[in-house]
Structure 1
Amino acid sequence: MKNKINSPFIISILIPLAVGSISALLSGNMSQYSTLNRPAFSPPALVFPIVWTILYILMGISSYLVYKTDDPQKSKALRIYILQLVFNFFWSILFFGFSQYLLAFFWLLILILLIIIMIYRFYQVSPLAAYLQIPHLFWCLFAAYLNFMIFLMN
């Protein structure tokens, strides 16, 4: 019996990983993070790529769970997913690439709103897909705190 490769599943995981990787590449020198004045709860720079890789994998699995359903609401849910990926893509470019900390903060607030809408839409199609997005929401809330504090401190 041959192993059957599930291409949509793999593609679903690769899409957010590619979005994150390209965004990081275009953001330029992210090592500037260590030179910024940061709040007390700031994790070391090494934590971010690890956390984001996990979050992107969870996003991919989540989007696949929605994609594979026959639910008529899945296209609305996936459109919000794509839109939040676009906002996710540009946040690090605004923050790291252009050092636009306040603009990046407001951009992140919109991203958080999109994630909440996405979780709601995903829940209508696949509750598990929605639950897999909750770590993403919490991380972005934490990122908003860091972003705003960095804006204030720099």
Structure 2
Amino acid sequence: MSSKRSEIGTGRDILALVLLVGLCLGVGGLGGAVTAESVTTWYATLNKPSFNPPNWIFGPVWTALYILMGVAAWRVWRAADRDTARGPLAVFALQLAVNLGWSVAFFGLRNPGLAVVVILLLDLLVLATTLMFRRIDRLAAWLLVPYLAWISFATLLNVTIWRLN
């Protein structure tokens, strides 16, 4: 691993941090827009398991996760040279797109079965991203652990909802 710089706080660093966190929150916002109508209509009619969290918990949890994801990506961008960071950040971007794809599949298309396929792919991509980030910056990898835990829970929830309906 080749470090790009040791000091923090340059204008470029701060701009990159804002852009990466903003990108993650923007994807979350798009997912929220896809989700909004279905939560109060279609989703409310589904059979859900007893361990299904209340709807109000999802917004704060996802907001925190998107911020952690953006910081993790920023740490990798900052810690590694362009060639070293390119692959891990490309996988990060792919998992972010698949994350949005899950919202489209589950809430937009109202298709829990398709969403199971998408979330299983997301699980693999987030695990791969975490392992790739770990080679560059251990803290960046640790910042993704809550995300990995949450989507693992979401996978169980998605599969259970699919089976119940």
1:73–1:124: 8 Å Cα contact kept in structure 2?
A: no
- Does residue 121 of structure 2 align to residue 110 of structure 1? yes
The amino acid across from 2:28 in the alignment is: G
The amino acid across from 1:133 in the alignment is: L
Which moved further from structure 2: 3-12 or 128-137?
A: 3-12
Over 3 Å off, 4+ runs:
none
- Segments of 5+ residues of structure 1 without an aligned counterpart are none
Identity %: 35
Deviation by residue 1:112-153 (Cα, 9 ceiling, x = unmatched)? 000010001000110100000001111001001110111111
- Does residue 133 of structure 2 align to residue 125 of structure 1? no
1:38–1:149: 8 Å Cα contact kept in structure 2?
A: yes
Partner of 2:92: 81
The amino acid across from 1:153 in the alignment is: L
1:119–1:130: 8 Å Cα contact kept in structure 2?
A: yes
- Segments of 5+ residues of structure 2 without an aligned counterpart are 1-8
- Give 1:34's match in structure 2, choosing from 13, 32, 44: 44
2:20–2:71: 8 Å Cα contact kept in structure 1?
A: yes
Normalising to structure 2: TM-score of the pair?
0.87
* Structure 2: distance between partners of 1:69 and 1:26: 34
Structure 1 position 70, deviation (Å): 2.9
Partner of 2:67: 57
Superposed CA RMSD in Å reads 1.5
- Give 2:29's match in structure 1, choosing from 4, 7, 21: 21
Local SS of the residue matching 2:54 = coil
